[in-house]
Structure 1
Amino acid sequence: MKRSTIALAVVAAALPLAACGSSTEAGNNSSAAVTTNGSEMSADALGAKIRALPEGQRRGVLFRAIRDAGPSGASCQSVTAMKEAAPVNGNPSWNAVCDGTAQWTIVMTADQSASVTGPGPVTIKS
């Protein structure tokens, strides 16, 4: 099991969102924003942040976690399907399929990283 830091990917994906939308949305975004001063956010807050991303950016975050997981993740060229899964030890998780052929499980943790397991057989559909 490899751990991949995804905080920068979440911050980079969320920054354009802060500039969009109404003032109410901006207020909600800032209250759930990933901090960049080194302090941690809860796994639930990180999960909510990823859940709130547009589909393409959420795919990008999961893709980056898989690619950063090590040699077996390096072969992933694109996330072709994804679905939020049941929490693992209370931490939010997603199942993602790479290239329609291999499934990965990504578990978000409070230290702004992800535990990535896989590849395994595909159980979710595009």
Structure 2
Amino acid sequence: MASDRPSKKYRASCHCQLIRYTVTLSPPLHDADSWVVECNCSICARNGYLNVYVQNECIEFETVGLESELVEKYRFAKQRVQHYFCTRCGSSLMAESIEPGFYEGVKAINVRMFHDVDVHTLQRRQVDGRSL
């Protein structure tokens, strides 16, 4: 995250509030240079993910972290990416690469978990995740 650019901290959580966290984005979502990824892979398309990619240090967990037994992990296809879900409400929180050298140190954060963000106003970029 560039220090000379504006940033904003977003509150996020699963639907039941069991897993709460904040994500710092630079630029903020309302910035003209900001966009979210709409991926065509099977899990993103079925769950309606709108992702932003952030460095791990831009995420702060307020309650339980991803290693908690309250967070379910799921991999499929080439087993390169691990997805995280709340075990109580099933919300799709985020995903990360588990393959060394493939998006290392970065998480794909589902913006639909952000509080007070109108996803209809966000700029979107289509990504061909099926090919990854």
Q: Which TM-score band applies after superposition, normalised by the shorter structure?
A: under 0.3
Q: TM-score, normalised by structure 2?
A: 0.27
Q: TM-score, normalised by structure 1?
A: 0.28
Greater strand content: 2
Greater helix content: 1
